Structure 1
Amino acid sequence: MKLKMLIFGEDWGRHPSSSQHLALAIRDQVEITWVNSIGLRQPGMSDLGRLLKKGVATGRQKGERAPFTVVAPKLWPLATHPWLQTLNRSLLKAQLSELGPFDYVWCALPSAVEYLDLFPGSQVIYYCGDDFDALSGVDHEKVAPLERRLLNKAHLVCCASEALQQKLGCKTCHVLPHGVDLTHFSHPRPRPLDLPDGPVLGFYGALAPWLDYPLLADLADRMPECNLVLIGPNLACPEALLEKTNVHWLGPRCHDQLAAYAQHFDVALLPFRDCPQITACNPLKMREYLAAGCSVVSTRFDAAIEQAGVDVTSGREAFMEQVLKRLNHPASRLDQRRSVVGQGWKDRGNQLLRLLQFASA
């Protein structure tokens, strides 16, 4: 009989998080129930549409590509009033009543600690994929004490990077780095029709505040013969950068399409600012670029330094020089793919299963 795990994560299928990849990797050994996001900040007026949509969602649904039950919780995020907290717990208990009991409760969000009293016999796992003290879009004042409570309750803590492990500093903390779907990203794909002709310097992911936009603007100006291609939702990219003739913002693409783009980048970029969020990060795209066979040039942060196949630079001039070097002398695509062998999501899932045995011992 399979062990049962309840996962408090983000909305299933909204973006391909590490928790989702890990859930898929262990689903043959563990029966999973996924709970969509319970929030990391109190909602404002701009969130009402999404809240209404979540409120009318069915209580149990098959998520996109989810081979297990996905529960859409009918909760008010980060409730502070005791009566509303009690109501939230009652509502969630009713939604999960026929699905438990659970051997494990996996918390990818610190706010899940408010509901752990519903699962008194379960082993608690805190999976920390981000520095919530630095993550944008988070109510830091309210989330920080929730994370401390969760650390005190957790039987096992898994972190996506050594920087996060050092920050949390608890005895039960293990590093569980992000993985990659090597088969998906290495399988040859035709060049997307909307990629411009000529050399491509590519980045995909949210165009967020932690990207170094002055660095990208300088790159576009100093290499006018190259096309700077940006793929993802625009959250903070200056219009002045997007208006440059050799800068091409293609907008968001679904995760399944990204391999085709990455395989045709001449150089894949990790152009991050030096900030607390990046210090602790271990971006999924880094290993995906490598699995696609890309030359990868990065600004300096711990996870990039530790990953074979990534050219890590310090300073703007060094970044420019390394991009130019890789344009003229690309890294071997076979060597780049070999650098992530053994780092697949199945490998990470097996590591997690071994840690679960440790937590239960």
Structure 2
Amino acid sequence: MKPKMLIFGEDWGRHPSSSQHLALAILDEVEITWVNSIGLRQPGWRDLGRLLSKGVAIGASKGQKAPFTVVAPKLWPMASQPWVRSLNRAMLRSQLAEHGPFDYVWCALPSAVEYLDLFPQSQVIYYCGDDFNALSGVDHQKVAPLELRLLEKAHLVCCASESLRQKLGLETSHLLPHGVDLTQFSRPQERPADLPPGPVLGFYGALAPWLDYDLLAQLADLMPECNLVLIGPNLACPTTLLQRSNVHWLGPRPHASLAAYAQHFDVALLPFRDCPQIQACNPLKMREYLAAGCSVVSTRFEAAQDQAGVDVTEDTEQFLAQVLLRLLSPASRVEQRMSVVGQGWQERGNELLRLLQFASA
């Protein structure tokens, strides 16, 4: 009989997170029940639409596109009143009654610690994929003590980057880096019709505050014959950048379509600001760019320095010069793909299974 794992993650299918990839990678060996996001901050009036959409999903979670049960929890996120927290636990116990007991409880969010008393016999795994003390959109003052409590309860701690391991300061924690679907991103695909003609300098992902928009503006101005293509929701990109004639914002695209775009980038960009959130990150897109065969130019952060195939630059001048160099002398597509061989999600899943056996011994 397969061991059972309960996963506290983000909303299933909202974006392809590392927890989702790992869950799929171990599915043959572990029976999984997924709990959608329980939140990392108290909701405000701007969140009412999303809360309503999550409420609509309650009771319909089994119909979501996942190869296992997905539970939409009936919880008020980050509740501060004791009676609300008690009600939250009672509601979640009721929703999960038919699915347990669980051998493992996987916590990708520190707020999951509030519910661990429901699973006293389970092995607790803390999967630390972000620096929650620096992550945008998080109530840091409340989340930090929750993370400390979770570390005390965890039987196994896995971190997505070495900087996160150093930040947690636990010698017993394990490095479990992000992986990549090499088959999906290396399989040749036709050029998307909405990619502009000519050389493409590309980025996909949230256009968030941690991107260096001044750097991108200088890049667009320096190379007017190239098209700067941005794919993803616009959370912070200034209008002055998007108004440039050689800048093309395509909006969000399904993850399954991103390989086709990346394969036709002449240079793929990782134009991040130097901030604690980025220094702790290990972006999935980095290995996806490489699997697509892209030349990759990045600002400096730890995970990029540790990854073969990425041209890491020290400052704006060097970034611009390296992009120009890669336009003139592209990296070998075969060598770029070879740089992520052995870093697939299945290999990461196999490592996770080994760690689970170790924790249970």
TM range (shorter): over 0.9
> Over the residues paired in the alignment, what is the CA RMSD in angstroms?
0.8
Partner deviation per Cα, 1:27-69 (whole Å, 9 max, x = no partner): 0000000000000000000111211222232336236541000
Matches within 5 A, 1:179-328: 179-328=179-328
Q: Which residue of 2 aligns with 1:25?
A: 25
Q: Secondary structure at the match of 2:158?
A: strand
CA contact (8 A) 1:93 1:118 kept: yes
Partner deviation per Cα, 1:86-129 (whole Å, 9 max, x = no partner): 00000000000010000000000000000000000000000010
Q: Which residue of 1 aligns with 2:340?
A: 340
Which one-letter code corresponds to 2:100 in the other structure?
A: G
Q: Which residue of 2 aligns with 1:144?
A: 144
Q: Which residue of 1 aligns with 2:165?
A: 165
Which one-letter code corresponds to 2:234 in the other structure?
A: N
Query: In structure 1, what is the Cα distance between the partners aligned to 2:217 and 2:306?
Result: 27
Q: Which residue of 2 aligns with 1:108?
A: 108
Which one-letter code corresponds to 2:272 in the other structure?
A: F
CA contact (8 A) 1:12 1:63 kept: no
Q: Which residue of 1 aligns with 2:71?
A: 71
CA contact (8 A) 1:157 1:173 kept: yes
Farther-moved stretch of structure 1 (78-87 vs 163-172): 163-172
Decide whether aligned partners of structure 1 residues 150 and 88 sit closer, same or farther in structure 2, where only a CA change above 3 A counts.
same
CA contact (8 A) 1:206 1:233 kept: yes
Which one-letter code corresponds to 1:352 in the other structure?
A: L
Partner deviation per Cα, 1:191-210 (whole Å, 9 max, x = no partner): 00000000000000000000
Which one-letter code corresponds to 2:280 in the other structure?
A: A
Q: Which residue of 2 aligns with 1:53?
A: 53
Which one-letter code corresponds to 1:256 in the other structure?
A: A
Q: Which residue of 2 aligns with 1:122?
A: 122
Which one-letter code corresponds to 1:257 in the other structure?
A: S
Query: In structure 1, what is the Cα distance between the partners aligned to 2:63 and 2:334?
Result: 35
Q: Which residue of 2 aligns with 1:13?
A: 13
CA contact (8 A) 1:298 1:312 kept: yes
CA contact (8 A) 2:58 2:74 kept: no
Unmatched 5+ residue regions in structure 2? none
Query: In structure 2, what is the Cα distance between the partners aligned to 1:77 and 1:34?
Result: 17
Query: In structure 2, what is the Cα distance between the partners aligned to 1:178 and 1:13?
Result: 17
Decide whether aligned partners of structure 1 residues 60 and 69 sit closer, same or farther in structure 2, where only a CA change above 3 A counts.
farther
Compute the displacement of 1:242 (Å): 0.3
Unmatched 5+ residue regions in structure 1? none
Query: In structure 2, what is the Cα distance between the partners aligned to 1:116 and 1:353?
Result: 21
Compute the displacement of 1:214 (Å): 0.4
CA contact (8 A) 2:58 2:73 kept: no
Query: In structure 1, what is the Cα distance between the partners aligned to 2:360 and 2:60?
Result: 29
Decide whether aligned partners of structure 1 residues 60 and 351 sit closer, same or farther in structure 2, where only a CA change above 3 A counts.
farther
Q: Which residue of 1 aligns with 2:42?
A: 42
Query: In structure 2, what is the Cα distance between the partners aligned to 1:130 and 1:107?
Result: 12
> Identity rate of aligned residues, in percent?
81
Q: Secondary structure at the match of 2:57?
A: coil
Partner deviation per Cα, 1:119-161 (whole Å, 9 max, x = no partner): 0000000001000011001011110100000000000000000
Partner deviation per Cα, 1:287-313 (whole Å, 9 max, x = no partner): 000000000000001100000000000
